[in-house]
Amino acid sequence: MEILITTVNITVKGKNIPAELIVLKNSRGNRALLGVDFLSKAGIVLDLQKKHWYFSTYPERKYNFIESPPDINAQQRLVVPTASNPCQLRENKGASLSSLQKVKLNSLLEEYENCFQPGGEPTPFIENKIDTGNHLPVAVPPNRLSPARQ
């Protein structure tokens, strides 16, 4: 899964705070999870005992924790452009391939797209073996342990 990073301005009570967000490509309907780094950057102080928060620059103005989030209209939503088919050669890959080879590879990937879907059962067509020669596989702890700890 491709991970994208973007910086957006998040407005909290009229104050714009730039925040770096991680976006999972091809995932839909996700909400942002803002952490301690965001709270610190914004200067937000949480008073858990009294169930309110405030900006460190204006400690006299308090905001309650329980407040419904505002509706987000379509213009405010972050749109991350994605390929029409996620099963294509990425732009930054295949640098050594010619244009014709890239087209052929994309065609092959699209044709067998169902083979590249996440999940599913392991394939019965391939079996992994490790040749240890005439020796038995090593089955001992990787670190030395005292006899008392073994």
Give the global pTM. Answer: 0.42
Other Cβ atoms closer than 10 A to 10: 15
For residue 129, what are the contacts with CB-CB under 8 A and spacing of at least 6?
A: none
CB-count exposure of residue 7 (10 Å: 0-12, 13-18, 19+): exposed
Lowest mean pLDDT of 11-25, 35-49, 114-128, name the range.
114-128
> How confident is the model over 24-60, as pLDDT tens digits?
777 777 677 788 889 999 999 999 889 899 999 999 9
What local confidence, expressed as pLDDT, does residue 59 receive? 92
Question: Which residues, 6+ apart, have CB-to-CB distance to 21 below 8 Å?
Answer: 5, 6, 7, 8, 32, 78
Q: Pick from 68, 70, 64: which is nearest to 51 by CA? A: 64
Average pLDDT for the chain = 78
